[in-house]
Amino acid sequence: MVVSDAMSTPVITVNVDTTAYDVANIMKDNNIGCVVVVEKDSKPLGIVTERDLVINIVAKNLKPKDVLIKDIMTTKLVVISPTATLMDAAKKMTEKNVKRLPVVEGDKLLGIITVSDITKISPKIFEIMSEMSKMGGELPYRGDEYIEGICEVCGSQGPVRLVNGRYICDNCIDEL
């Protein structure tokens, strides 16, 4: 399954001159945890998360109406291609310690994929793999072999293995 199958669209965006106050309200009104900062031509420049607002505004006791997003946004944007696999997205999130990846093709913002998006779709992936196993189809791994995935018991991401038809991390295997 590829990123474009699970990404959220449209992406809520703001420009660099938006205030932190306005961004906080946009996030609240749209029930989202981030916005992507874009240029006039919609080229992504950065991202602002709830954490950015807490660390850069609240913790410093600044007035949100006085702070522009360009001054607190994360500019080292970690992005992913719409044709990348969900596993690629999960690995990139883990490696870069991020929970959200703007989906970009060229300079165009197409969507955003989050840990929540991957978690929502992972049970469907496990169902497909389980059905393939029952039908004798080839799976990328079997038995005691580990892969990177999402535990069907606790939802954590990391090494999982097939145990009684479910993909489970070692912590949950020990508890069973």
Output the 3-class SS for 63-130: CHHHCEHHHCCECCCCCECCCCEHHHHHHHHHHHCCCEEEEEECCEEEEEEEHHHHHHHHHHHHHHHH
Instruction: Please identify, in words, the CATH class of the domain defined by 3-134.
Output: alpha beta
34 is in an annotated binding site: no
Cβ-contact 54, 66 below 8 angstroms: no
- The domain locations on the chain are 3-134, 141-175
- Ramachandran assignment for 58, one of left (phi > 0), alpha (psi -120 to 50 degrees), beta (any other): alpha
pTM over 0.75: no
Cβ-contact 153, 169 below 8 angstroms: yes
Q: Which of 33, 40, 51, 3 is nearest to 18 (CA)?
A: 40
154 is in an annotated binding site: yes
172 is in an annotated binding site: yes
* Architecture of the structural domain at 141-175: 2-Layer Sandwich (3.30)
169 is in an annotated binding site: yes
Cβ-contact 158, 147 below 8 angstroms: no
Q: Does the fold of domain 141-175 match that of domain 3-134?
A: no
pLDDT for 1-48, tens place per residue? Answer: 789 989 999 999 999 999 999 999 999 999 999 999 999 878 999 999
pLDDT for 80-115, tens place per residue? Answer: 999 998 888 988 998 999 999 999 998 899 999 998
Residue 26 burial (10 A CB sphere; 0-12, 13-18, 19+): middle
